[in-house]
Structure formats: C-alpha cells, structure tokens
Amino acid sequence: MIANQIDKCAEIISQQRTFFATGKTKDITFRLEQLKKLERMIIENKSAIIQALYADLHKSEFEAYSSELFVIKEIRKVIKNLASWAKPRKAPVEVELFPYRAQIYPEPLGVVLIIGAWNYPFQLIISPLIGAIAAGNCAVIKPSELAPHTSQLLAEIISKYFPSEYLAVVAGGVEVSQKLLAEKFDHIFFTGGTAVGKIVMAAAAKNLTPVTLELGGKSPCIVDSDIHLEHTAKRIIWGKFINAGQTCIAPDYLLVDKKIKPNLVQELQKCLQAFYGENPSQSPDYPRIISQKHFQRLVNLLSSGKIILGGETKSEELYIAPTLIDDISVNAPIMEEEIFGPILPIIEYTNIQEAIDFINSRPKPLALYLFSQNQNLQQYILNTTSSGGVCINDTVMHCAVSSLPFGGIGDSGIGSYHGKHSFDTFSHYKSVLKNTFSLDLNWRYAPYKGKLSFL
C-alpha cells in the first residue's frame, strides 16, 4: 500500500505501534533480514533511482552513485556489525557496591519519524532509515516534495518491499509534515533548514519526543598561504559545485590569506573550466537548481559582488553557471543566508585571527574547512572554533567516514548519525543493575547511627 494520503497518518502510526508491540523488530535476525531486503531493494531499482535523481536534479550517474547509492556500503557495514552492537554490554561496578552486576541494554525506541530534504533526496531518507531498522524500530518516512520523482519512487519501492505497519512512506508537502508532527512519535529525525528545524523541535516538545536535527548553515573554508595550490583548488571546486552547490556541507564561502588569493583565484578558474568545460550548461556532469523559487533566490544573490567567473543563468533550465564572486561586503545578503547553490564568495584576510573572529561571530557552522600544511595553525583552528565537523586539506569527505559522527552544533543541528552513531541515535541505552540474594549488607539501612564512615 502506498500511503500518500494525509488522513492515513494516524492509522499508519497506530498500525506500526501494534506491530512494534509484537516484539518482532527486536529480533536481530529480523533486523538483518530487513537490512538485506533494503539492500536488495536498492540494487533491483538502481536504474529507476538514477533516473528519478536525474529528473529532479539533473544529477549525473556518477554523482548518483557516489553521493546517494553509496548507502549500500553503509548497509553492508551495519549488517556485519549489528550482532555486536545490539548485545548488552557489561558495565564496571565500584568495588564497594559488590555484588551488584551492571549491564547496558540497547533497545529500540519504537515508532520513529524520518523527514528528509530534497538535495540528496534518496540518501537523506535511506541513511537514517538504516539506523532505524538496525536499532529495531518501525518508521514513518516523509521525503521532500521538492524532489517529486525520488519521493514518489521511494513511496513505491518501500511499499513494495516492506509492509506499511513496519515501514511506511507518507509522501506530500508541508501540510503532511505538519499533520505527522501533530502525532506522537518515539523519535523524530529531521533533515532540513534551521528555521523548519525549530518548528519540528517545538512540535516534538509537546510530546517530549527526542529529536535529531540535521540542519544547515554557512560552512566557512579557510585557505592559508601554506598549501599545495592545485590540490586545494580541485578539492574546493569539487566540494562546492557537486550537486550545483546544493549540499549542506558545501564550503559556503572562502576566507583566503591575501598573499595567496591571486594565485588561488587563477587556479580555481582553471579548475572550474577543467571540470565543466567552457560552457558548463552543456556539461553532462553539472546539475540544475531544484525549483524556480530557489533559482530566483540564487539569482538575486549574484549581485552581491564582482563576478570573476560564471554568473550566466537560464531560467527555463533552472541553470546557474558555477560562479566565483569577489569584492564581497561581509554585510551583503550573500553573507547573511546559507547560499546552497553554485556561487562561491571569496573574502580575503591579512591575519588569521580576523578569519577566526569572523567565524566565531556567527552561528556555529555544520562544517569548517581549513587548507594549510602548518600543523600549529591546524591545531589553533581546532582549538579556537566550534563546528559540527572539521575537514583539513579537503572538503565534504568527512561525511564519507562512517566512524565519524555526522551532525551539527548550535544552529546547525542536534545529534548525529552514520555507522554505529546511527544505531546509537535510534536506540535507548537501558541501564540494568542486578543484585543477588546471597548477601545483604546493612550499611545503607536505617538506623544510620555510626554508619557515616561507610560513605
């Protein structure tokens, strides 16, 4: 059954509660079977997924694999490790508390809600879902309406492979999201903008529902003068213009040491041309903007400074050329909001402290990038800034390392996931203490007279 009607929300949640109560999802064999089924679902529908991503974002097959379908690898890793993650663990007990035995039991949360964003519309649903399944939950899934082809496909294939009392996609827009948020869940995992994140958290608070908020923000990229110029340019251009800049951890703007700026700008231009050719609108590898509304917002930002490369737009194709902008005022609109598109402002600094102070005067970003071979500077930046994650001498790649928790801090989010961290996010760690009847020491019982020395 494809659950795409707003009035079915309550019924689906109630069916999932009944299914969860059977205890079936707690069985590790069941969870492993579902993960294998999810893997099979992706493999058997690979072409349709690639087509949907192309229809929504003009995403190339390479980007579809490398940034969306790679979740298959995550499924395989989880399958390999699940039995060990799900085992109760012994916890040490203080000697004076003998003969207690302590254990920590991971247990599923129940029925969880996963709300996705449109920029990586497949993996932003499947990646948290892997954690939800692995930890033994039922899930209601709300993909983004702005990627309608992927959203519809997710609804079709998930309903084909899984019963809706276990996993159900509720497709639709803001009104569906609001309807779901009015219901009680055991966890809400939300990916999207900071403003909507606040709405989600306020709705969750009414039911004391815990949340994971994977939000956005302006991720700065500092470029020191002590770098390998060509590698730096390639890694910045790749991280910024993959998915046409519509990536939550894309370097939002550059803060460049004045001494290196002319050389860097030249190398960035060279690199852009090498990646996408003289006319990127003809490149099969360059995506499009998601909607007319987002296109218009980005077009307005183009006038924030001096365009040194790019700037061409085609409204009918939702095309914006990869663009480098110089002479930016730090108060320009482009420096106020998350760009989330193919426009890269370049700001220079003369002293690294200026760059650090600038970053620290703004909301904490999801990612922070530093290009520098100077190990003292690397450590100094780590010690003096705060961000969801940091990647040194590269961009975006930290999110591919599943042992690293992926998430924000402050305005860029709450909580984290990927690999074991996803399992943790969707689990409750239940503390269990066992005593025996073989011994019963009197030190804690009244009358207390003369017993203070035990404490």
368-295-318 Cα angle (round to 5): 115
Q: Does 74 bind ligand NAD (CB under 6 A)?
A: no
Of positions 48, 196, 201, 377, contacts ligand NAD by CB under 6 A? 196
Q: Pattern of binders to ligand NAD over 339-378, x per CB under 6 A?
A: -x-------------------------x------------
Q: What are the Cα distances from residue 81, in Å, to 84, 134, 191?
A: 6, 10, 25
Q: Does 109 bind ligand NAD (CB under 6 A)?
A: no
- One of 63, 214, 267, 348 is an active-site residue; which one? 214
Residue number, 216 or 419, with CB nearest to ligand NAD: 216
Total interface residues for ligand NAD by CB under 6 A: 29
Residue number, 264 or 301, with CB nearest to ligand NAD: 301
What the block records as the tokens of 68 is 């969306």
Q: Which letter, b or e, does each residue of 421-449 get, where b requires 16 or more Cβ atoms within 10 Å of its Cβ?
A: bbbbbbbeeeeeeeeeeeeeeeeeeeeee
248 is catalytic: yes
Q: Which residues contact 371 (CB under 8 A, 6 or more apart)?
A: 221, 222, 223, 224, 227, 232, 235, 236, 392, 393
> Rounded to an integer, what is the distance from CA 11 to the centroid of its chain?
29
CB of 228 within 8 A of CB of 191? Answer: no
Of positions 106, 116, 131, 342, contacts ligand NAD by CB under 6 A? 116
**Which span (5-13, 111-119, 378-386, 439-447) binds ligand NAD, by CB under 6 A?**
111-119
Placement of tokens 């903008």 in the chain = 193
Kindly give the pairing relationship between strand 101-108 and strand 89-91: antiparallel
Whats the size of the chain, residue-wise? 455
Q: Does 145 bind ligand NAD (CB under 6 A)?
A: yes
Residue number, 248 or 271, with CB nearest to ligand NAD: 248
First to last CA, the chain: 61
- One of 248, 271, 391, 399 is an active-site residue; which one? 248
User: 144, 140, 94, 89: which is closest to 119 by C-alpha?
Assistant: 144
The Cα 148–Cα 433 span in angstroms is 49
Q: Does 253 bind ligand NAD (CB under 6 A)?
A: no
Residue number, 192 or 345, with CB nearest to ligand NAD: 192
Of positions 42, 112, 215, 352, contacts ligand NAD by CB under 6 A? 215
Q: Does 337 bind ligand NAD (CB under 6 A)?
A: no
Q: Pattern of binders to ligand NAD over 389-428, x per CB under 6 A?
A: -------------------x----x---------------
The Cα 424–Cα 432 span in angstroms is 17
Q: Which residues contact 235 (CB under 8 A, 6 or more apart)?
A: 371, 393, 394, 395
Q: Pattern of binders to ligand NAD over 123-142, x per CB under 6 A?
A: -x-----------------x
Q: How far is the CB of 417 from ligand NAD (least distance, A)?
A: 9
Q: Does 164 bind ligand NAD (CB under 6 A)?
A: no
214 is catalytic: yes
The Cα 216–Cα 340 span in angstroms is 9
The residue of the chain with the least Cβ separation from ligand NAD equals: 216
Residue number, 203 or 233, with CB nearest to ligand NAD: 203
* Contacts to ligand NAD by CB under 6 A: 115-119, 124, 142, 144-146, 173-174, 177-178, 181, 191-193, 196, 199, 214-216, 248, 338, 340, 366, 408, 413
Point out the residues that are catalytic: 214, 248
